[in-house]
Structure 1
Amino acid sequence: MNTPAAHDTPPPKPPPAPPLWQIVAARDYEVPADSQPATLQRRWRSLGRLLLGTDDADPAQAEADLRALPQVRLANLAPSIDWAPAARALDAQESLDADAHPPVRLFIGQPYCDHPAILTHWAHARDAVVLAPPDTEQILCADRRWLDELAPGTGRPWVLPELERCFLRHANGLDLVRGFLARALSGALGPGMIGCDSWALAFIERISPLPGTATLTLQAFDGLALTRYLMHPDRGQVRFLSARSGEPLMPEDAGDSGDDRHGAETACPELRQLAAHCRGNPGLAWYYWRQRLRAAPEREQQAQAGEAQHDSPQRADGERLAAADEVVWVAPGIETPTLPAESGEDVAFLLHALLLHRGLESAVLGAVLPIPEGRLHSHLLRLQALDLLVREGTRWQVAPLAYHTVREFLRSRSYLTDSF
């Protein structure tokens, strides 16, 4: 009787990768940690440059030789984030019930993660009523007609996607948000979902505590999740190479393993470090990723084109088929704008107000800040020139790539910050 050899037994299949989009209780949010070896390596390099004047080894591709990608190609390699999967994850977890206690959930949006889009998708899936926030005049005049129009009676759940648009940090700008929260959290409006930016929530909890409210948020993306999302096979036949080492960010056989996690944590230290730098925020990570993608120098592109022309198969009509994968270089380091050394309280007040309200218009900034109009305008233009602020339409916001700098600046001055 023949006994099968031990090596004939197929190896056990690895457990499936966890869902990319996960909704968790806010208390269960886990900020990804950078790997200890990578952290020590960066500190050692910094110490060597400081004490010995040494620098890193020559990179595989000097960043000055790399070229910016055309916007069309960049949009294909790093398309805008589709937040519908996050809404589906929320829909799979949450079942609003008029008898539930508490009847209202609070969804906390991390900066640049577009919680209004997530909740609008969710509202459409649940046939929920989407409540519009009051306008600036209604907020400053405490126009309670806005509250009266929120009376229940439709029998449908409701969603207020942007609680941060319902108040202003002003002596006359808090009545409506207090009145709304009192009605909503008492159950007077029926079952519903409130979306709120994390910075605005930190402020609101100081003026109107939210005891017993169930709070949800999008779970952090670690290095593995960023690898799966940013280098998804849908991006096409692309080889992402590290400009520092010249090595591929994904092993050559990763796409054939059938396991999305294959080699991700060991092959993509760049994305693991990016996840730690962004504190698990996928919206921020997306901006950094786009900023780091580069095309090969022109001479290298011409050489690759010649090799592809020579090695690729030929069709019956004589035209050759492209055989070589596209190479995209990932620039080393994480570049962030810096604040001027002389930045004082005016700048701190301004930046803090923009984060608390998820952006403000110039006229409204003048109402909530004790800064003369001329000086405020000068600060805005200067910070914009330094890539610390961006203007979208009429609303000023902290630039995504400057967020880490601004958050640390405010934290170092003991300003109220968010929990993410």
Structure 2
Amino acid sequence: MTAAEATSSPLRELVSKDQWALPSATVNRTLQDGLKAFVERVRQPNWLQDQPAGGQDELQPLSRRQLERWAPEPQWRSNLSGFVDALDHWCTRWSAIQPVGFVVAPPFTGLAESLEQVAADRDWRLIAPPDLDRIHRGQALQDWWSQFEGDTPWVLPELGHCWLRTPAGLTLVRHLLGAIAAGELGRGLVGCNSWSWTFWTHLLPELRFSTLTLQALDHQRLGQWLQGLAGTGQFRLTTNGSWVVPPKDEPARNGARTSAFLRDLAAWSRGIPEVAWAIWRDSLRARPEAEVEEPPDAEPTQSTCWVIPWSQVSVPTMPPGESRPLAFVLHALLLHQGLDETSLQQTTGLAPDDVHIALHSLHRAELIGPHPRGWFVTPRGYPAVRRYLHAEGFAVDGF
């Protein structure tokens, strides 16, 4: 994609799965990541050091106020024009044979929030998920089904919240997918995380619904998005002053090189916005290292935020050693987009003590954190978790 194409394409771009593209990494980063993954599998890493590595204390991470200035939280309920246009285009093409649209995306893309806003803007019915305990018991849930009654279109933001990986916990979504296939529920939209969708397409290989997905952010669109969050200002590398997000105007670059940081960030995060954003925030610094000064040609009305080199970026890693309970817990959390201890026991078959020990270990490693539904994988930890589950032979998502 050219720079002009990246600027013109919407940041919340909905595409078919065959149009989805994983951001490419630099050759050096690909080799380094492969070597690092191999080393971590054959020896125990220096895990959870009490003190940062030498030299890191010379860099000044941003304060909370500065983070709000340079990297505020993404707002997935605004700027949805391109997102909504793609949904409308899909409905025009497919609604005659499939009145319910499916949007599938990885975690940390803001999909559920965007769909909730679509429902609010269009005054469509928002389908609330059922209680997890009732799902586990396989109850009939007539009151939940009553939400679909009437002619008004409806939106179910997250399918992963409507089932549990237990014998009785699969019943509701089986019936839901069957009712949608039979055209019994009228017009609607279903959002589903990519891990849950992978599970159901493996369980029901005959599932052939047309789906849309959010396009991954390549390095150009990622830079455009991160710069948009910050508004004014510029981002430059601490070590040599290279541009991290280059100015749009060629003269403003003043001949300075552009760093490969964003290309590496896009590849490591797999183009997932909140994963990239979380790592980006940890990479920002309030001032450069001692030998780097503010360029004399910088606009006096602009300020500069400095970014450490990719080689200095710290991301969570899996605890040392082999542990199937950790893998079971992580996979369950991703399938259902967050679970509490009781639901984890039900879906993994682990004893309460094993669940508590696994959660403590993963939390200490910053791979999971508290969540409105109990616990969930952290954005910074997601790449390591996905890579670990893939190495352990779990069915990972296709994103």
Instruction: Report the TM-score range of the alignment, normalised by the length of the smaller protein.
Output: 0.7 to 0.9
Shift of 1:20: 2.5
In structure 2, the partner of 1:353 is: 332
Cα distance change on mapping 1:192 and 1:325 into 2, 3 Å: same
User: Structure 2: 5+ residue runs without aligned partners?
Assistant: 38-54
Letter in 1 for 2:236: L
1:91 to 74, 84, 90: 84
Rounded to whole Å, the distance in 2 between the matches of 1:268 and 1:286 is 18
8 A contact 1:31–1:276 mirrored in 2: yes
What is the percent sequence identity of the aligned residues?
31
2:18 is the counterpart of 1:27: yes
In structure 2, the partner of 1:49 is: none
> What do the CA deviations read for 1:58-105 (whole angstroms, capped 9, x no partner)?
xxxx54311111111101211111223564323112234695211111
Q: How does 1:92-131 map to 2 (within 5 A)?
A: 92-95=85-88, 96=91, 100-131=96-127
Letter in 1 for 2:12: W
2:174 is the counterpart of 1:149: no
- TM-score of the aligned structures, taking structure 2 as reference length: 0.83
8 A contact 2:148–2:154 mirrored in 1: no
1:181 to 174, 177, 185: 177
2:242 is the counterpart of 1:247: yes
In structure 2, the partner of 1:140 is: 136
Cα distance change on mapping 1:405 and 1:190 into 2, 3 Å: same
In structure 2, the partner of 1:226 is: 222
2:264 is the counterpart of 1:273: yes
Rounded to whole Å, the distance in 2 between the matches of 1:177 and 1:77 is 42
Rounded to whole Å, the distance in 2 between the matches of 1:42 and 1:357 is 29
2:138 is the counterpart of 1:161: no
Cα distance change on mapping 1:401 and 1:298 into 2, 3 Å: closer
In structure 2, the partner of 1:386 is: 365
Letter in 1 for 2:242: E
8 A contact 1:134–1:146 mirrored in 2: no
> What do the CA deviations read for 1:10-49 (whole angstroms, capped 9, x no partner)?
xxx9676333321101221111112346656989999xxx
Cα distance change on mapping 1:384 and 1:186 into 2, 3 Å: same
In structure 2, the partner of 1:216 is: 212
Rounded to whole Å, the distance in 2 between the matches of 1:26 and 1:99 is 18
1:290 to 281, 288, 294: 281
Across the two proteins, how many residue pairs are aligned to each other? 372
Rounded to whole Å, the distance in 1 between the matches of 2:169 and 2:96 is 31
2:303 is the counterpart of 1:326: yes
Cα distance change on mapping 1:326 and 1:109 into 2, 3 Å: same
Q: Secondary structure at the match of 1:407?
A: helix
Rounded to whole Å, the distance in 2 between the matches of 1:258 and 1:246 is 16
In structure 2, the partner of 1:18 is: 9
Rounded to whole Å, the distance in 2 between the matches of 1:181 and 1:120 is 20
Cα distance change on mapping 1:43 and 1:371 into 2, 3 Å: closer
Q: Secondary structure at the match of 1:231?
A: helix
Letter in 2 for 1:84: R
> What do the CA deviations read for 1:160-186 (whole angstroms, capped 9, x no partner)?
111100000111111111111111222
2:348 to 365, 369, 372: 369
Q: Secondary structure at the match of 1:391?
A: strand
- TM-score of the aligned structures, taking structure 1 as reference length: 0.79
Shift of 1:298: 9.8
Cα distance change on mapping 1:211 and 1:298 into 2, 3 Å: closer
Rounded to whole Å, the distance in 2 between the matches of 1:14 and 1:69 is 32
Q: Secondary structure at the match of 1:249?
A: coil
Q: Secondary structure at the match of 1:112?
A: coil
Which piece of structure 1 moves more, 190-199 or 180-189?
180-189
Which piece of structure 1 moves more, 327-336 or 353-362?
327-336
2:76 is the counterpart of 1:76: no
Shift of 1:204: 1.6
User: Structure 1: 5+ residue runs without aligned partners?
Assistant: 1-12, 47-61, 309-321
8 A contact 1:63–1:331 mirrored in 2: no
Q: Secondary structure at the match of 2:234?
A: strand
Rounded to whole Å, the distance in 1 between the matches of 2:386 and 2:165 is 19
In structure 2, the partner of 1:51 is: none
Rounded to whole Å, the distance in 2 between the matches of 1:374 and 1:296 is 46
Rounded to whole Å, the distance in 2 between the matches of 1:42 and 1:384 is 24
Rounded to whole Å, the distance in 1 between the matches of 2:147 and 2:275 is 34
8 A contact 2:70–2:229 mirrored in 1: no
Shift of 1:230: 0.7
